[in-house]
Amino acid sequence: MNIATLPRFPLAQLPTPLEALPRLSRKLGGPQLHIKRDDQTGLALGGNKTRKLEFLVGQALAQGADTLITAGAAQSNHCRQTAAAAAKAGLRCHLLLNGDTPGQIPNGNLLLDGLVGAVVHWIERRERATRLNQLSAALREQKLNPYVIGVGGSNGVGATGYVLAMQELVEQLRVGQQAVDHIVFGSSSGGTQAGMVLGAKIAGFTGRLHGVGIDKEDRDRGPYEDELAQIANECAEYIGSNVRLTKSDFEVVYGYVGGGYGVVGDLEREAIRTAASYEGIILDPVYAGRAFGAMLDLIRKGAFKSGETVLFWHTGGAPALFAYAADLV
């Protein structure tokens, strides 16, 4: 592989901590629970996108870009971290966010977007692809050189960050003389899961990786796995690995979308309160909260053996929690 020679802009505080969750493990009666704290990557209150952005911003700078453009939901963790990465790299940043200009004082990720200097454009979700192209063209007409980052930073370049993340985890387990049987994490735009599964193959990790579909319905059980394989193989080619994956290499856990993307229900409320009250860990209401809730449900259903070790990979997103206060009190 040639990861060491690829363009990279340092953003993350690595390695992120690996912690046991003893009180929650006892409460549930097994399995043994651990957590990987990618909420502690450091950039503008952290999150998993920081690992991806190291390589995306690195490529943008290598191409002479002076502006980053990306898109997402109003409380997008990815957009918040992209805006912060742009500030750190000395780049302009434009964000296309779903919805209308909010009438109230900005909160959560949206507050942070403004603090780090991003220019926000409010759009209809269905217009996202068109508006990204239009904005990029308009900035080029202004003699700027924009670099467009897809939703979630989920492409072969961004997934590189999670190939390295799996190598980081394997080394932490080796040093600590620990073993992990299962990893559970939220999966949406696909880059995190694609990079992790590819990284697991490369690093020789033998546990199972369960990506909880945050906004994926279990209808055909195929198109999303195909997308994951495509991102992973793009990443493998980018980093110079001979590994190639198919959709059968990916395990997506469906059935936990609840009321839909960003809609907080009982599953998320219980997960957030449980993690906070038993381990002092703060989960976000959209991604980590839903994935953690799914993990609790799977444990209660006996999906994991009592003697096994399950690692929850915390992808961050806590700033969004404050924008959902009314759903949590």
Residue pair 286/318 in contact by the 8 Å Cβ criterion:
no
pLDDT for res 319: 96
Fold of 3-48+154-328: Rossmann fold (3.40.50)
Q: Please give the DSSP secondary-structure letter assigned to residue 319.
A: G
Q: Please give the DSSP secondary-structure letter assigned to residue 142.
A: T
- In whole angstroms, what separates CA 111 from the centre of its chain? 20
Instruction: Give, to the nearest 10 degrees, the angle between helix 77-89 and helix 108-115.
Output: 10
Q: Is 76 considered catalytic here?
A: yes
187: nearest Cα among 219, 157, 162: 162
Catalytic residue (one of 25, 76, 187, 241): 76
Tens digit of each residue's pLDDT, the chain (329 residues): 899 999 999 999 999 999 999 999 999 998 999 999 999 999 999 999 999 999 999 999 999 999 999 999 999 999 999 999 999 999 999 999 998 888 788 999 999 999 999 999 999 989 999 999 999 999 999 999 999 999 999 999 999 999 999 999 999 999 999 999 999 999 999 999 999 999 999 999 999 999 999 998 776 666 899 999 999 999 999 999 999 999 999 999 999 999 999 999 999 999 999 999 999 999 999 999 999 999 999 999 999 999 999 999 999 999 999 999 999 98
Range(s) of the chain covered by CATH 3.40.50.1100: 3-48+154-328, 49-153
49: nearest Cα among 75, 73, 85, 18: 85
d(CA 70, CA 149): 5
The model carries a pTM of 0.96
Residue pair 206/228 in contact by the 8 Å Cβ criterion:
no
pLDDT for res 219: 62
Residue pair 105/33 in contact by the 8 Å Cβ criterion:
no
Task: Indicate the CATH number for domain 49-153.
Answer: 3.40.50.1100
13: nearest Cα among 55, 49, 46, 42: 42
Instruction: Provide the H-helix boundaries in the chain.
Output: 22-28, 49-62, 77-89, 108-115, 128-141, 156-176, 191-203, 223-239, 266-279, 288-300, 325-328
The answer for residues whose C-beta is within 8 angstroms of residue 80's C-beta and 6 or more apart is 44, 45, 47, 109, 112, 113, 116, 319
pLDDT for res 30: 84
